[in-house]
Structure 1
Amino acid sequence: MKICFLNPFGTDAYDEIIGTVLKGSLLPDTTLEIRHLDAGPRNLDYYAPKQVVQVEILKAVKQAEVDGFDAVVIGCCYDPALTEARELVSIPVIGPLESSVGLARPFGHRFAIVTDHHKAVPMLQDTIRIYGAEPNCVGVESIGWFVDDMVLDPVAVAEDTYLKILDVMHRTGAETVIVGCTIVSACYELAAANGDSKFSELSVVNPNIMAVKAAELFAQLNSRGMYRISRAAFYQALSSHDPIEAAEVAPYFQSTRV
C-alpha cells in the first residue's frame, strides 16, 4: 500500500517530526510519503486563511490520486476539506479527528480532546457535534501553543500536554484523551518514544497513528473492491450530476506539483 500523509501547511517544517512518529506503526507492505503544501498560508488556525488552504488541499489530494497513492491522510485535526476531497477523488481520504473519534470508544467510554490553542477549541467542538460524538465527549481544552512554536520546543509541548491531560482527566472523568492536534500529538509521542514512561501510562489517542491505520484499512478494502463509499447524496460527485460543469471546474483542482 502506498499512503500519502499530507501536512496541510505551506511549509516543510513539520514533515520530519510526523515521519519519525509514524514510521514504527506501519504494516510491512506500507509505503508512507509525507507531503506538504507548496502554496498557501503556513497554517490554518484562523478561518479566513483556512479557506485558501482548503483549495490547496484539494489540489494536493487530486495529485496524490494521479500519482498512484492508495489513500490520503489530511494531516490536521480540523479535518480540513475532508468531505470535499472525498467528493473529488475515488481513493480513500482520511481525517485524523474523524478517525480518532470513531476509534475512541475501545480506549474508554468518555473522552476529552486536548488541542493546541484557544482558537481551535470552538472549531473542534463544532466538528465533534457534526460527527455525532458530543454525548461522549466531556470537553475540549487547549495547552496554549500555536503551531509555529511547537517545533522549536517539542519537549515543552509534550510536558504541557501531559499536565493538561492529567488535569482534564481528573476534573471531567474522561477515561481517554484525544490529543487533537497532529503536531501536539507528534510531540507527545516523540517524548514517549524517547523513554519517559509517564507519557505511555495515560490512555491517549494519537490522531496521526489512528489516521494512518485507518488509511491502511480502507486502502486494503479498496484494493479488494470493498470500499463502497456512497455516491447517493453526501459524497455525490459533480460529474455524475453535470459532467460539463465538472469539466469546467476541474482546472481549479489541478496541482502545479511536478
Structure 2
Amino acid sequence: MRRINFINPFGSVSYDGIIKKTLGHYCAEGTEMVVTHLENCPPDIDFFYNKHMIEQSLYEEVMRSEETGFDAVIIGCLYDPGLRVARELVDIPVIGPLEASLQMASNFGHSTMILTDHRKAVPFHYDEIRLRGQGATVKGVDAIDWFVKDMINDRGAVAQDVVRLSTEAANRFGAETVIMGCTIIAAIYQEYLMEGGEPAEVPILNPNLMALKMAEGLADLHKKGAYTLARSGYYMKPTGHFAEEFKRARRIWNQSKPDFTQN
C-alpha cells in the first residue's frame, strides 16, 4: 500500500475533480492517490508573483503530507513550483511533473518538445530545459495560448487546440513526441480521449501520468529503504542551531500568512 498526495498548487478546488477523474484509473494496485489543493492562496499560478506566494503554502502542505503518513507527493504543475526546496524539507519523494516528463521522455521517442499553456510560460520552460541539461533532445517550446482559469471552462476548445497544435508544433520543431506543458491541459486532453475523442497524430506525454508512475516507484523504494536523499549538499536539511531558526520561521509564517478569502 502506498499513499500519494497529488497537490494542485492553486487556492481553488476547480481543478481537483478533473485530475482525479483522468489520473485515478492509472494508479497501480495498492496505490491510494489523494488529490488536494492549497488553502488560502492565489487561485492560479500563471504569474510569477502568485507563484512565489503559492510556494510558501506549498512547502507547508508537503511537510504536512509527510507528517500525516503519505509516501510521496506530486506537485501538480509543470512549473514544478518549489520542487527543490520541498526536497530539503522532507524525506519522502517529492515529484515535479516537468522533471519527471523530461526524465521519461526518451522512453517514448528520440526527441520531444513542450507545448505549454500561455506565452509567459514559454521562456520559463526554456530556462528549465537548460537547467536540467536537456537542450539536445528537447527541440523547442510553444504555447496553445490559454490561461488555466479560462481553459477549465471551455474544455472542448482546449482539447481541439491540443490535437491541432501539438502536431503542428512537433513538425515545426522536428520533435518526435510532445510533453503536454500544463497539468490541467493534460487532464483536459485525457478527458477528451476518455470520452472517445480522436488522439493527436504525435505521441503526447501526460505529465500527470509521468509524475504518478515516478512517485509510485520511488515511494516503493523509500518504503524498502532504497531511496535516500543526499543531505550533504543541495538538499541539506536545517539541523543543529539552524533547526531552531527553521521552527521559528515556520511558526511565524503560520501565524501571519495572508488571507486570500478577503476581497
Quick check: TM above 0.5? yes
Which TM-score bucket, shorter chain as reference?
A: over 0.9
> 4+ residue runs of structure 1 moved beyond 4 angstroms?
252-256
* Structure 1 counterpart of 2:150: 149
Name the structure 2 match of 1:31. 32
8 Å Cα contact 2:84-2:235 kept in structure 1: yes
**Could you say what secondary structure the match of 1:48 adopts?**
helix
1:190-229 paired onto structure 2 within 5 Å: 190-199=191-200, 201-229=201-229
Matched residue, 2:42: 41
Deviation of 1:138 (Å): 0.8
Does structure 1 conserve the Cα–Cα contact (< 8 Å) formed by 2:180 and 2:206? Answer: yes
Partner of 2:136: helix, strand, or coil?
A: helix
Q: How many residues align?
A: 255
CA distance in 1, matches of 2:254, 2:64: 7
- Please list every run of 5 or more consecutive structure 2 residues that lacks an aligned counterpart in the other structure: 258-263
Distance across 1 between alignment mates of 2:73 and 2:41: 19
In structure 2, C-alpha distance between the alignment counterparts of 1:158 and 1:251, rounded to whole Å: 43
TM-score of the pair, normalised by structure 1: 0.95
TM-score by length of 2: 0.93
Q: Which amino acid aligns with 1:174?
A: A
Amino-acid identity (%): 41
The RMSD of aligned alpha carbons is 1.6
Letter in 2 for 1:121: V
Q: Tell me the distance in 2 between the aligned counterparts of 1:82 and 1:251.
A: 21
Equivalence for 2:246: 246
Matched residue type, 1:223: K
Cα separation, 2, equivalents of 1:112 and 1:148 = 24
Alpha-carbon shift at residue 170 of structure 1 (Å): 1.6
Specify the alignment match of 2:260 in structure 1.
Answer: none
1:170-219 deviation per Cα after TM superposition (whole angstroms, max 9, x unaligned)? 212100000010000111111111112334x5311100000011110110
Which residue of structure 1 aligns with residue 134 of structure 2?
133
For structure 1, the 5+ residue unaligned runs are: none
State the SS of the aligned residue for 1:72. strand
